[in-house]
């Protein structure tokens, strides 16, 4: 019998509790042992809920209980999760978490600490909700040098982009709809400004390239500039606009970015709609593989945490390998990153476009008073210079190559 | 230093040798140890090839060498692979393989044998080529009761279906094209009759439900009945025709089948084209996740074998869990399986259709002298009865629900 504790009885925490109880039999079989939840930590009371019998309000009860081998955290936010993680690991307990802020900031350090204490620190649920991606990177794509990792990492914004594309609605309407459905927060900044996707691509990149990628270093744009008119152009181009987190290696340097991009209908990412997420990994031997599923939601995310609990239960005394060193990757200066741009300008600027940008591909989607075009590949720096010479644009969206 | 041997220096075997050499540095880091190929077994000579230095022609040299911890097999076929696997495992060596015939037939037995000898028997490459699917089932989807597993499991036939769909070609032309490109064998039976996909869905189902699913028990139809006219109807229906291997649990019984099916454009499987494979798994907590990538090819398949070698190197003395018991699942009698059918009949039978099938959905794709319709859900037995009453049909394709 392995004893576990859950920190936080919110959406994900209660999902973990539910899955460990309702799928007990298959979990025992796969673990080769029973897993019992000895404690759930939450400041609140839950009268009448089955959690009552194991509810505690003081973390020290958990950390001081030698019977507890595994602590699963689902509170979110860096503190007190970070302090709890350190204390649990230092007490010889394995720790797992769905908390992307904690992992993006302290992943390398907590992995090292876990190794020193011969326990595990796992975080499958921190990226892609229920999609297996962290463990496949650590134990399936192990023969590969990762050349690129690109994902639709935020379900809320993907729902919004899908709805704008399919129903021709404007940004504000779909944001309201997403809020009404509970997909977007009342304060939607973390989703629509790309901050959530940014932490996730930072975590993925750190594992893919084996060293720390700081999320603060990643160029991040959200979807707030995307309009219903952009969707008209996208449809004309047989492309979809997706908020992508992406990083890739070129000439020995890693470039990373979060931005809405035009994805071609030949890409497997094109058909990833609604609240679904997908992560595409390109290995030097394997080529492209993609992992697809629900990027959020109570039971999907909780299932990923439970899979970590099971791995930790199977590996008491054995630290699983995750190559994520603390020394930092110096990302490629973003102004040197090369991209292809779709650009909309005032119709009067058409002639100026060809004199400044040279040969471009004109895109005619029947929009009045506008001229739209696709540039050749150029650096972000060059593009900024040229748009300045042009004297202003309506919008630009990068084209995923 | 871990020493390994490769059995077979054909396409996959030489790919394993190549990856272990050219990605040596990242592999050592991920393994925490160097992996050296001590032997490659092949009956042939390879003068001038770097393999020469380690080439042997006698399996006994490998099995009797106590330094060899891992044997990777890439010869194909049940024998002598089965004998070699047993001997290697009984000598305390871990074994891994890309050989679906071997795994479908002897998987449960070799897993048990490996456990008894405290070694590992792994077979990631036997299904889906380079796509991580076996390990995710065994170590990521562990909290789940699997309700369904459905895959595009054969790249050759998916290439053919894609080409017929996109270019309006007939079956014989695309088969010839696939053969010219080296995707299809001169004798293409294993692919186009669905036998290859059948072994793969048998392996996946055995792991998904934890007990032996015999491939001989799975109802298997190939794609030889699919014509360019069927593709016209599929396009009209916004669906794609895909050869699917599928199994699902309903009322406690597992139904399994390989057959071409009409897949809706809202399904993530719809956009899986060309030689790509994808496997969709539905868990009772997680919902749907999908794994996508190259289902065949030298380096993709070899990469999956190397990932097994790495896992085995990391787990010397520790047998990884794979729940696949030898006792057999009695599959649902196929005549009791429920499906929705798309049916084409001679135009003269239109009235008879409504009297026999009741309310159906008519499909008008502008094909002369034909009447086409989609039935309600009914058992295979009922459908067979009704088509007999009808006195013959042109073709039927099941509709994926």
pLDDT in tens, A238-255: 999 999 999 999 989 999
pLDDT in tens, B340-399: 999 999 999 999 999 999 999 999 999 999 999 999 999 999 999 999 999 999 999 999
Residue of chain A whose alpha carbon sits nearest to that of B207:
A30
Q: Given a cut of 90, is residue B23 above it in pLDDT?
A: yes
Residue pLDDT, tens place only, A139-186: 999 999 999 999 999 999 999 999 999 999 999 999 999 999 988 889
Q: For position A378, what pLDDT does the model report?
A: 98
Mark yes or no for CB contact B294/A300 under 8 Å.
no
Q: Where in chain A is the domain with CATH 3.30.70.260?
A: 337-399
ipTM: 0.96
For residue A367, how many C-alpha atoms fall within 13 Å in the half-sphere facing its CB? 23
**pLDDT class of A307 with cuts at 50, 70, 90:** very high
Question: Which among B27, B289, B297 is the nearest to A293, CB-wise?
Answer: B289
The structural architecture, per CATH, of the domain A2-129+298-321 is: 3-Layer(aba) Sandwich (3.40)
- pLDDT of amino acid B42: 98
- CB distance from B140 to chain A under 8 Å? yes
Report the predicted TM-score, pTM, of the whole model to 2 decimal places.
Answer: 0.97
Q: Quick check: B296 pLDDT over 90?
A: no
Neighbours of B205 (CB within 10 A): 29
> In whole numbers, what is the pLDDT of chain A averaged over residues?
97
Portions of chain A given CATH number 3.40.50.720: 2-129+298-321
Contacting residues of A for B27, CB less than 8 Å apart? 142-143
How many whole angstroms separate alpha carbon A18 and alpha carbon A3? 16
CB-CB: which of A145, A311, A321 is closest to B26? A145
pLDDT band at A296 (very low <50, low <70, confident <90, very high): confident
Helix (H, G, I), strand (E, B), or coil: what is residue A133?
A: coil
Nearest to A300 among B273, B287, B297 (CB): B287
Q: CATH 3.30.70.260 in chain B, residues?
A: 336-399
Bridge partners for B373 per DSSP:
B343, B362
pLDDT for A396 equals: 98
Chain B positions touching A300 (Cβ under 8 A) are: 285-287
CATH class of A137-294: alpha beta
Q: Is A274 on the interface with B (CB under 8 A)?
A: no
Residue ranges of chain B assigned to CATH 3.30.360.10? 137-294
Q: Across B92-156, where does the E strand assignment appear?
A: 94-97, 121-122, 146-152
How many other β-carbons are positioned within 10 Å of the β-carbon of residue A32? 12
Residue window 11-50, chain B: list those with CB within 8 Å of chain A.
19-20, 23, 26-27, 29-32
Q: What is the CATH number of domain A337-399?
A: 3.30.70.260
Amino acid B275: pLDDT: 93
Of all residues in chain B, the one with the smallest CA distance to A312 is B139
Q: Which residues contact B135 (CB under 8 A, 6 or more apart)?
A: A135, A136, A139, A140, B122, B124, B307, B311
Residues of A in contact with B290 (CB under 8 A): 290-293
d(CA A131, CA A125): 8
Catalytic residue among B93, B200, B211, B242: B200
State the pLDDT at residue B99: 97
Quick check: A111 contacting B, CB < 8 Å? no
The four Cα atoms A98, A103, A109, A113 give a dihedral, to 10 degrees, of 0
Average pLDDT of every residue of chain B = 97
Which of A285, A302, A323 has the CB atom closest to B19's CB atom? A285
Question: Rounded mean pLDDT of A198-213?
Answer: 98
Put simply, whether A268 touches B (Cβ < 8 Å) is yes
What strands lie across the sheet with B121-122, from one edge to the other?
B55-56, B35-41, B2-7, B68-73, B94-97, B121-122
CB contact under 8 A, A132 and B289: yes
Beta strand B287-294 with A287-294 is antiparallel
Tell me which architecture the domain covering B336-399 has in CATH. Answer: 2-Layer Sandwich (3.30)
Considering only the beta carbons, identify the residue of B124, B270, B300 that sits closest to A271.
B270
Q: What is the DSSP string of A201-249?
A: HHHHHHHHHSEE--GGGSEE--STT--HHHHHHHHHTTEEEEEEEEEEE
CA distance A348 to chain B (A): 40
Chosen CATH of B2-129+298-327 out of 3.40.50.300, 3.40.50.720, 3.40.50.11540, 2.40.50.140: 3.40.50.720
Reading the block at residue A140, the tokens are 């399936």
B291/A294 touch (CB, cutoff 8 Å), yes or no: no
Residue of chain B whose Cα is closest to the Cα of A16: B143
What is residue B92's three-state secondary structure? coil
Q: What is the mean pLDDT of residues B304-318?
A: 97
């Amino acid at each position: 019998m392995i004893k576990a504790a859950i920190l936080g009885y919110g959406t994900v925490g209660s999902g973990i509790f539910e899955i460990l109880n309702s799928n007990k039999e298959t979990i025992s079989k796969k673990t080769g042992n029973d897993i019992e939840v000895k404690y759930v930590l939450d400041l609140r009371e839950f009268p009448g809920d089955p959690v009552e019998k194991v509810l505690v309000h003081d973390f020290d009860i958990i950390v001081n209980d030698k019977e507890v081998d595994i602590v699963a955290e689902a509170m979110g936010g860096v503190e007190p999760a970070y302090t709890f993680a350190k204390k649990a690991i230092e007490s010889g307990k394995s720790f797992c978490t769905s908390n992307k802020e904690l992992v993006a900031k302290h992943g390398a350090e907590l992995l090292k600490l876990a190794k020193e204490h011969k326990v595990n620190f796992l975080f499958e649920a921190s990226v892609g909700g229920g999609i297996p991606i962290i463990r496949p990177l650590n134990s399936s794509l192990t023969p590969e040098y990762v050349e690129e990792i690109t994902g639709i990492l935020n379900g809320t914004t993907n729902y919004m982009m899908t709805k704008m594309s399919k129903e021709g609605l404007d940004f504000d309407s779909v944001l309201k709809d997403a809020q009404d459905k509970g997909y977007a927060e009342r304060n939607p900044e973390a989703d629509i400004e790309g901050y959530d996707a940014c932490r996730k691509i930072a975590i993925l990149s750190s594992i893919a390239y084996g060293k720390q990628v700081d999320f603060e270093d990643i160029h991040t744009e959200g979807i707030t500039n995307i309009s219903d008119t952009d969707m008209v152009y996208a449809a004309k181009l047989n492309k979809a606009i997706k908020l992508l987190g992406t990083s890739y290696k070129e000439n020995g340097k890693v470039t990373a970015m979060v931005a809405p991009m035009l994805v071609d209908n030949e890409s497997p990412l094109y058909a990833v709609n609604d609240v679904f997420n997908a992560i595409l990994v390109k290995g030097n031997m394997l080529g492209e593989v993609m992992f697809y599923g629900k990027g959020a939601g109570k039971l999907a995310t909780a299932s990923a945490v439970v899979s970590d609990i099971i791995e930790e239960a199977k590996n008491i005394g054995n630290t699983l390998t995750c190559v994520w060193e603390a020394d930092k990757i110096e990302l490629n200066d973003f102004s040197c990153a090369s991209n292809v741009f779709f650009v909309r300008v005032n119709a009067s600027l058409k002639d100026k476009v060809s004199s400044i940008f040279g040969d471009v591909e004109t895109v005619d989607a029947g929009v009045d008073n506008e001229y739209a075009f696709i540039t050749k590949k150029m650096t972000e720096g060059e593009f900024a210079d040229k748009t300045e010479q042009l004297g202003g644009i309506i919008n630009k969206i990068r084209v995923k190559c």
